[in-house]
Amino acid sequence: MNARSFDHLDRVIGEIDKIIKTLSVPPRASRDIPYAPGAAELEEADRLESARRGYPNHSGEVAAQALYQGQALTARDPKVKSAMHQAAAEEIDHLAWCEQRLRELKGRTSLLNPLWYFGSLSIGAFAGALGDHASLGFIAETEKQVESHLRDHLGRLSAKDSRSRAILEQMTHDEVQHGAKAASMGGKALPFPIIWAMRATSKLMTRGSYWI
């Protein structure tokens, strides 16, 4: 087996390793979890509701890892590929924060996460195969929709849950930056049917993760 074959095998093993780690290994954040001074203990009803509303956020971050992985796999421009890897690394913080907060709330992660992961991996690879500008536009639109979801969650969150609020506010800030960066790198606007399909898929994942 020549060196080129080894390189290809190494890449395959590396991608498989990413999948295993995302779905089964507790993520490690590079930044401290956002701090909420004076956070109070939640009453049982508020705790249960915060935990349940946190399930889709965690699933969304699992899906984000898969989307960026898929898009990096099929990206043509090395700069775009690097940007996808960097964004995925930044999203690991979100994944770690969501998982830690769910543990604090005595919640659990969605049983459907493997489905969301492999579905998102396929979508990301397809988006990347359409070309770098289309792929970047897909990221910009995805982050726009994630921002909308997070702001909606913030509006529904119990006023007593300041800890979850601090996490969501930082996540929202980061997602806005990710979307703006993708647009600045040449992301083009997507056709409305694709945007509509993305919104429908997002709702399916949000509702599925909320209950299962």
| Tokens representing residue 131 in the block | 């070309």
| Tokens representing residue 74 in the block | 């099929």
Please give the distance of CA 199 from its chain centroid, rounded to a whole number. 15
pLDDT per residue as tens digits for the range 155-199: 888 888 888 889 999 999 888 888 888 888 877 777 677 777 777
- What global pTM score does this model have? 0.79
At which residue do the structure tokens 């897909």 appear? 138
Could you tell me the CA-to-CA distances from 93 to 45, 87, 96, 197, 206 in Å, in that order? 28, 10, 5, 27, 20
> Domain 50-211's class?
mainly alpha
pLDDT per residue as tens digits for the range 18-74: 666 666 656 777 788 887 776 667 788 888 888 888 888 888 888 888 888 888 878
* 9-39 CB burial, b ≥16 within 10 A, e <16: eeeeeeeeebbeebbeeebeeeeebbeeeee
DSSP string, 92-120: HHHHHHHHHHHHHTT----TTHHHHHHHH
